[in-house]
Structure 1
């Protein structure tokens, strides 16, 4: 072992702590060894930037036991694996946060997300580690959730020193090297590290904390923003050219001035109307029916909050009564039999005034019309674990996919 000189970084001690972290958290090994160490006397303790450089204070390493340093290693690499820098940037843009103090609040919230379950089982909790319990917050939530639940104040004064670097809150520090300097990981390399860690967790979950299991599942199967997709598809349908447009005499066309004695109708846009067809056949679960009702929120937002512009039809093999959404709490979802949504589509299109967009929420086990409806059509398809379906008389039955003229959104 090389001799240690006070004032210089004791790399032997630092790397011994990393090795201890790998022994007790083997699924983080590839991430821990991917960090590039940068000695810095300007960083308070240890911090990371978004390019996977780890800045280390020699004085901090000198005064901190190896077991505690192992916990700091795991804490800092957790910020990078959970993409806290990008998530903080998105949160700041969405809420218009430009005050530097807000970045401290994001660092604290990110620490709460990490520290509620990573310590113990051979990994010591470093002194001063911020936990949700210390702020009176519940465990097991995400950084964004914690940001909505607390503000800076007297109860956070003792942690004002906290600085895990831009890797925790997205704000560049003066002591960081920046994107153009060497020894940083590219985006592809960072994604590869995350994938390897997630692969290790899913392959051998063991006693991995629930927070890490949830993270690994999302890395392998990133959640599709289907609510946003559904809302966007409906907005596109109701705002498209021709939707809700008709010629009316309520306000004469300006061209009438050029035709004396003749009143010309003008093209006016009326609020778009949406018909929602809900599949209530026996193959649709109660959970999916409940999800269908919840999706009404995205539909209502797409028409500017006007629930009176939305009508609902429940259908299995026969269409039920059309209900206005303004009485959503009283809409009966009747059915339970076989599936043929063609009757429901016909009934929905016959409502007066006719819909400008048709939304169909179904599991897809239905025959589809051969002709395209006269309005834009969006199909919300309940996602299933398997790609094949069933029919009592034919176990090998596979339903036809929605037709090409419909915009399809998978509902998780």
Structure 2
């Protein structure tokens, strides 16, 4: 077998490193061999795109021992298995991360999530490994958690070269072959690879680090992005005509130009008023009530952060005091009795001014109003098992009515 010419990618060495990685981490073998290699001198070391192509620098491969290259293989495929590109896109939208350094910060946070437990036991970490301990951060967290705990600065300036590709932070590079390039995996093929890897980890849980076991459990039981769905449901509810519409002279209508001497008001959209009815009956747990307050904060963000436009009403069989969100820290979720959220609907509709959107957070064990309220309605359901007797409320044969068709229903996590 002839040696590669100067400047060429040493595929034999790179494939030997991949084989070594598969031997020491057999549960990752399906993913490792699903990657298609692309030689690129524009990549600092090795990188992946979101279509499961692995870009390798010929100079880096030539100067790196096989054992360390095996560690890089595992590191890069970990970005793809853990969907760091998709998660980075979501967190960028949710937190408004659009600054030039934000994607680098996401890459670093994703590396923190991976590197804290994948090395050792036959896998050598490459030189310059990025670990959370370098910034005095704890191990075992997720990328999203690390993003909240550090900013770019003097301690991260040595990582400015870091570039694991769009597969790590979602930002397409100039050297990416893109969605139409050759040898990429379709989303369905990517899901199949992830499922096979999760099966391998679940079948031999004692051989995988804690981070991989956690990932495999979520791969089999993926969490629903319920906060994103809830926010989208609210935004959809207020996007129709009439919700949050008002006339204002602050910006005159363009039609004023056609009527000399007359100033017409313009129709402007303002954030809507939202009433949040929280089910505080005995069938709702303390943990779910705590989660409900977190949803109130998410609802506030969905309407542009206008806390003064959000009112919270605890309700079991009777509606409680309506609390403005500006006092969210001290909202008492009193209750513990039976459930009849119809009183909460009625109390919310008596608010002045009347809400334009109503959000109901409940386990669903309640009668519902016969007629739709005169405002858009979103129902957030706490999940309940469907086994026999799981809906028992003094009557073992009791089953709750499903939410009415006029409500937008979202299952909470």
TM-score, scaled relative to structure 1: 0.79
Please report how far the alpha carbon of residue 307 of structure 1 lies from its aligned counterpart in structure 2 after TM superposition: 4.1
Whether 1:46 and 2:46 are equivalent positions in the alignment is: yes
Query: What is the CA distance between 1:62 and its match in structure 2?
Result: 4.7
The higher radius of gyration belongs to 1
Native 8 Å contact 1:238 1:273 kept in 2:
no
Give the Cα–Cα distance (whole angstroms) in 2 for the partners of residues 32 and 143 of structure 1: 22
1:282-326 deviation line (CA, Å, top 9, x unaligned): 100011112222222233345554544444332222333444444
Aligned match of 1:378: 378
SS class of match (1:295):
helix
| Cα 1:327/1:129, change in 2 over 3 Å | closer
State the SS of the aligned residue for 1:95.
coil
Q: Alpha-carbon deviation of 1:399? A: 1.4
- Which of residues 95, 98, 112 is equivalent to 2:97? 95
CA spacing shift, 1:405–1:128, aligned 2, 3 Å: same
1:67 to 1:334, Cα distance in 2 relative to 1, 3 A: same
Mind listing any 5+ residue stretches in structure 1 that lack a counterpart? 248-265
Once the two structures are TM-superposed, the CA of residue 407 in structure 1 deviates from its matched residue by 1.7
Closer/same/farther in 2, CA of residues 106 and 173 from structure 1, 3 Å limit: farther
What is the CA deviation profile of residues 331-358 of structure 1, one whole-angstrom value per residue up to 9, with x for unaligned ones?
A: 3322212222223323333344443333
Alignment: residue pair count: 390
Q: Secondary structure at the match of 2:140?
A: coil
Per-residue CA deviations over 1:174-230 (Å, capped at 9, x if unaligned) read 4x6555543333343233222322333344433422322333344444433322333
> Over aligned residues, Cα RMSD in angstroms?
3.6
| Post-superposition offset of 1:403 | 0.9
**Aligned equivalent of 1:30:** 30
Distance in 2 (alpha carbons) for counterparts of 1:224 and 1:147 = 21
For 2:271 and 2:55, locate their aligned partners in 1 and report how far apart those are by CA, in whole Å: 57
Contact 2:271 / 2:304 at 8 angstroms: preserved in 1?
Answer: no
Q: Are residues 1:79 and 2:101 paired? A: no
Gaps of 5+ in 2: 248-265
2:281 maps to 1:281: yes
Quick one: structure 1 residues 116 and 350, their matched pair in 2 at CA, closer, same or farther if it must change by over 3 Å? Answer: same
For 1:267 and 1:14, the matched residues in 2 are separated by 63
Matching residue of 2:406: 405
Q: 1:327 to 1:103 in 2, by over 3 A?
A: closer
* TM, length-normalised to structure 2: 0.79
* 1:405 Cα offset (Å): 1.3
Deviation at 1:118, TM superposition (A): 0.6
SS at match of 1:29: helix
Partner in structure 1 of residue 338 of structure 2: 338
Q: Single out whichever of 320-329 and 399-408 deviates more from structure 2.
A: 320-329
- Cross-structure match for 1:193: 193
Q: Is residue 234 from structure 1 mapped to residue 234 from structure 2 by the alignment?
A: yes
Provide the residue aligned with 1:208 in structure 2: 208
Greater shift in the superposed pair: 73-82 or 304-313: 304-313
Q: How much does 1:69 deviate? A: 2.4
Task: Assess, with a 3 A threshold, how the Cα gap between structure 1 residues 306 and 13 changes in structure 2: closer, same or farther.
Answer: closer
Deviates more, 1:30-39 or 1:152-161: 152-161
Q: Deviations over 1:254-295 (max 9, x none)?
A: xxxxxxxxxxxx999998543332211110001111222222
Q: Does the residue aligned with 1:377 lie in a helix, a strand or coil? A: strand
Displacement of 1:117 after TM fit? Answer: 1.2
Which residue number in structure 1 is paired with residue 315 of structure 2? Answer: 315
